[in-house]
Structure formats: structure tokens, C-alpha cells
Amino acid sequence: MTAMAKHTKQTLRAESRPSQLSGGARKRKPQHKAGKGRGSRNKRRVSSRWRRLVKWALLAVLAGPALVMLVYSVVPPPITPLMLIRALEGEEIDYRWTPLEHISPHLAHAVIAAEDNRFCEHWGFDFEEFLVIFEDWREGERPRGASTITMQTAKNILLWPNRQVARKLLEAWLTPQLELLWSKRRILEVYLNVAEMGPGIYGAEAAAQRHFGKPAAALTVREAALLAAALPSPRRATPAQPTAYLNERVPVIRQRIDQLGPMLACAS
């Protein structure tokens, strides 16, 4: 083979080999793609974490209150949101859990007569009362509250005390769950134990001891009616030293108890 032929052959081989530059480019290209892949995977991981957090948050919101209700269906509530708020404000808490059978039936009847006449019959909402209030409002009268004992119990054990729309909607959502998970006697028992009945006073036993110096089991008809009459404004009204308004409410409540008769069966 001549020298010229050898030179030509070597030149063709050199031209057919990939250059270092092109090889380097080919090596860098996959690295660039790998970097992109890692970034995409990181984004997917972050997105997945957020989805899990949202899922757990929704689960807590939906299942959390029901779980608390299930526990409180057999265990006395150790504290309520209102008690906690008052304690943070520096107020003393007098809360003495007492089973319903150790609370005077006069108080149970008086509270139903004063707060929620159809408590034993409805499923958390008194639609008949809502209609009456709506008609009164249409006729120009000042609207009054229509919260049932079940609604107030749901608010007392799980929610904060104000009239915000969000809180009222949550109360409306929790009320039928409470009716489903608890008996009427349990709802009444918890309500009579956690309701605010004076500054720092919660429940029938503490109220009976502080206002009348006796246990809740020994309350008379009049004393029970005075406690029930004071429930709408327990921080202003003092059953032991009743105002004219409280004294006027007592015979109204007693008359209503007589009228309700068998409608008080769930409290007996």
C-alpha cells in the first residue's frame, strides 16, 4: 500500500470516529435529563405530602368531633371550650359532675319547659319553633333564639361561644350527630352538668351548692325554676336573689311543666 493510500485510510477512520466534543455533549445530555427528572420527582413528592396533609386534616375535621362525642357518651367531659376560655381570662371554675339520677327531676323538667319544650320529641331541631319565630319576625317582632338543648350541648362541649355564622353552621352540623350517638337522657345529663349557671359556675351541682347551699338532688320546684329562668343570662341573673323578671318567669315555667306532662317522659 502506498503512503498516499495509507494516509487516505487514516483520514477516513478519524472522520468516522465521534469527536470528543460530540461525545461529551452526548454524556452531558442524559445528565441534563436526569436533573429534570429529579426536580419533577421532588415536586411530585411535595404535592403528595400536601395531599396527605389535606386528607388528614379533613379526616380530623369530619371524624374528630364524632370521636369526641363517642367518648363523652360514656365519660364525663373533663372541661369545655367555654370553661377553658374563662380560665384563661383568670376566672375560677366550679364544675362538679353529677349523674342525672342525682339531680332533682324538678330541674330537668324546668329546663325543658324554659329552653326546649319539644326536646323529648325532636331530632335536634325544633322546626315548629323555627316557623313560629319566622312568623313573629315577619310581623315585626324582635327575633328570639331557637336553640334546642341538643344544639346548646353540641356547642358547649365542642365549640366556642359567639354568634358567628361559621359557628352556627358547625353547631347545625354537629347537632344531628349528637342525637344519633347519644340518648336523650345523656344529652340532658351532659347539658345539666356543663351549662354555665353563673360566673365560674358550671352545672346543676355547683349551681345548687353556690346559690342555695344544697345538693342538686334537693332542689325544690321554685329553686329549679329560678335556675332555669336564669339560663339565658347566667352571668347577670342571680337565682338566690331573683330580680322581678326571674320571679315573673317562675310561675310561667311551672305552668308550662304542667302543660307538657307526658312530653317530659325522656327526663323522668
Check whether residue 33 and residue 50 sit in a common domain. yes
Among the listed residues 111, 117, 137, 123, the one whose alpha carbon sits nearest the alpha carbon of residue 172: 123
For residues 141 and 262, membership in a common domain is answered with yes
In tens, the pLDDT along 27-39 reads 555 555 555 566 6
The domain in which residue 174 lies consists of 77-267
Torsion of CA 67, 95, 264, 181, to 10 degrees: 0
What pLDDT shows up at residue 179?
A: 96
Say yes or no: 61 and 133 in one domain: no
How many domains, the chain?
2
Question: For the domain that residue 176 is a member of, what is the CATH number?
Answer: 1.10.3810.10
Cα separation values, 138 from 135, 145, 148, 165, 237, Å: 5, 15, 22, 21, 30
pLDDT at 127 (0 to 100)? 76
Q: What per-residue confidence (pLDDT) applies to 160? A: 87
What's the one-letter identity of residue 231?
Answer: L
Same domain, 144 and 260: yes
Asked if 83 and 19 sit in the same domain, the reply is no
Check: pTM over 0.75? Answer yes or no. yes
Indicate whether 59 and 142 sit together in one domain: no
- d(Cα 116, Cα 57) in Å, to the nearest integer? 35
Which stretches in the chain have pLDDT values below 50? 19, 21-25
Query: How high is the pLDDT of residue 50?
Result: 74
232 and 210: one domain? Answer: yes
Distance CA 258, CA 264 (A): 10
